[in-house]
């Protein structure tokens, strides 16, 4: 595996053009750019991070359009995920807007969601999560995830952690954009630092939602 040397800006330009012309003709004519400026750097990056975080899955560039009104054939970003538990782990993405990193639980089975809410309801575990999220927010991360508009069943609206209890998924992400270091080998270290900052959230979620 070649060493990671950064994400070329040509990859960002490729996705900007793909957003304007999401066609097989454009893809076929520019596939080499995607391979050299997106696919190959992503493969090298996750290989570099594997010892610290685990084996990554690199997503296919093709969209599943079977049940979508949008029949655009290609994704306008390239992502990779390292799973630490079902639906939980670290994420990295390159797109026209640049680099995005994230982590957390992006969806949940009914059993996982019940376990998550039980942990949030618990004064000790719930306080742990609040502290983890506060630290991430102070570091510039944005807390995300699907949320109920109303309270979940079994909880009152005046619960001290009602906003967390509304979560059906829970993530934290950081939009880097296109900093000067994106095209350099040091980008791997910046991503590694961000994933380490996300580790407490990823590990907390994995621990409380683990299948018994």
Q: How far apart are CA 126 and CA 129, in angstroms?
A: 5
Residue found under tokens 């538990």: 85
Query: What would the CATH number be for the domain defined by 9-208?
Result: 3.30.930.20
- 104 phi and psi angles, rounded to 5 deg: 135, -155
Q: pLDDT tens digits for 201-210?
A: 999 999 999 8
Give the three-state DSSP class for 16: helix
pLDDT tens digits, the chain, 212 residues: what are they? 789 999 999 999 999 999 999 999 999 999 999 999 999 999 999 999 999 999 999 999 999 888 788 889 999 999 999 999 999 999 999 999 999 999 999 999 999 999 999 999 999 999 999 999 999 999 999 999 999 999 999 999 999 999 999 999 999 999 999 999 999 999 999 999 999 999 999 999 999 998 65
The whole-angstrom distance between residue 119's C-alpha and the CA centroid of its chain comes to: 22
How much is the pTM?
0.95
Q: Which residues of 7-25 are buried (b: 16+ CB within 10 A; e: fewer)?
A: bbeebbebbeebeeebeee
């Amino acid at each position: 595996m070649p060493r990671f040397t950064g994400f070329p800006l040509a990859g960002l330009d490729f996705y900007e053009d793909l957003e304007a012309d999401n066609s097989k003709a454009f893809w076929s004519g520019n596939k080499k750019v995607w391979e050299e400026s997106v696919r190959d750097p992503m493969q090298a990056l996750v290989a570099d991070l594997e010892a610290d975080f685990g084996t990554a899955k690199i997503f296919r560039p093709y969209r599943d359009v079977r049940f979508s009104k949008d029949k655009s054939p290609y994704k306008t970003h390239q992502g990779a995920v390292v799973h630490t538990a079902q639906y939980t782990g670290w994420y990295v993405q390159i797109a026209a807007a640049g680099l995005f990193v994230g982590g957390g639980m992006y969806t949940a089975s009914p059993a996982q969601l019940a376990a998550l809410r039980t942990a949030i309801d618990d004064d000790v575990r719930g306080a742990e999560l609040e502290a983890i999220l506060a630290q991430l927010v102070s570091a510039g991360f944005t807390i995300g995830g699907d949320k109920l508009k109303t309270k979940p069943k079994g909880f009152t609206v005046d619960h001290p952690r009602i906003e967390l209890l509304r979560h059906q998924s829970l993530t934290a992400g950081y939009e880097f954009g296109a900093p000067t270091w994106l095209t350099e080998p040091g980008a791997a270290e910046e991503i590694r630092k961000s994933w380490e900052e996300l580790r407490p959230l990823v590990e907390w979620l994995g621990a409380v939602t683990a299948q018994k």
